[in-house]
Amino acid sequence: MIISTDRQTKGRGRQKNQWTHLQDSLAFSLNRCPNPILTLTPLEMGVLISQFFSDFYQKEILLKWPNDLMNNKHEKVGGILCETHGSEVIIGVGVNLKPQAIENFSHFQAGFLFSTEEQIDSKKLTFELAQYLIQESELRPIPKWTQKCSHLKQQVQIGEIKGVFQGLGPMGQAILATEKEEVEVYSGSLVY
């Protein structure tokens, strides 16, 4: 099942953060079987979304731990939210396609995948991407996720922990090299 919208007024991201849906953006949810290692599902979806835009639209999407989609300027263009329901997972995807005038959001900074000159059929794109995510899989997403990581070997901060992002552990956890030791972080917001 795929549910999409042209206007989302109560979108949310990870940890119940607000997600603002812009005009000419994708906002959809679908259900599918999760990755055999449940915690790798958001990483798998990031890899598949990145592959889709590269293969079919020649657009590079980089990945930021744990679930952000970044353009080649390292601006956030979207995100992925996964929630389990029984044996399936509901995957919410939001992607900013084109620049917009953003009223009442002076603090809001968003990146985009396409220029205003590029012609994009957002309904067709939503259907194509959703079908791709349903049909394709990447059972071992960590190597491909690492290749697309926007902050590998860079200084980052997750919560109070600061260190150099070394990569991912087998469950998708972030591995940071701090001044004293390597630390595994299983959730939080990464800043770099």
pLDDT digits (tens, 9 = 90+) for 85-144: 999 999 999 998 988 655 544 444 678 899 889 999 989 999 999 999 999 999 999 999
The predicted structure's pLDDT at residue 7: 65
Tokens standing for residue 67:
């679930």
The predicted structure's pLDDT at residue 106: 44
User: What value does the mean pLDDT of the chain take?
Assistant: 89
Element (H, E) at 189: none
**Residues 146/131, Cβ–Cβ less than 8 Å:** no
The predicted structure's pLDDT at residue 110: 75
Pinpoint the alpha helices (H) of the chain.
41-57, 122-135, 142-148
Residue 8 has pLDDT above 70, yes or no: no
What band does 172 get if pLDDT is binned at 50, 70 and 90?
very high
Span of 23-27, 62-66, 110-114 with lowest mean pLDDT? 23-27
Q: Cα torsion for 11, 13, 16, 20, to the nearest 10°?
A: -40
Residue 146 has φ and ψ, to the nearest 5°, of -60, -40
Domains and CATH numbers, the chain: 2-148 (3.30.930.10), 155-191 (no CATH)
Average pLDDT over residues 16-30: 74
Average pLDDT over residues 26-33: 93
State the pTM of this model: 0.90
d(CA 169, CA 142): 8
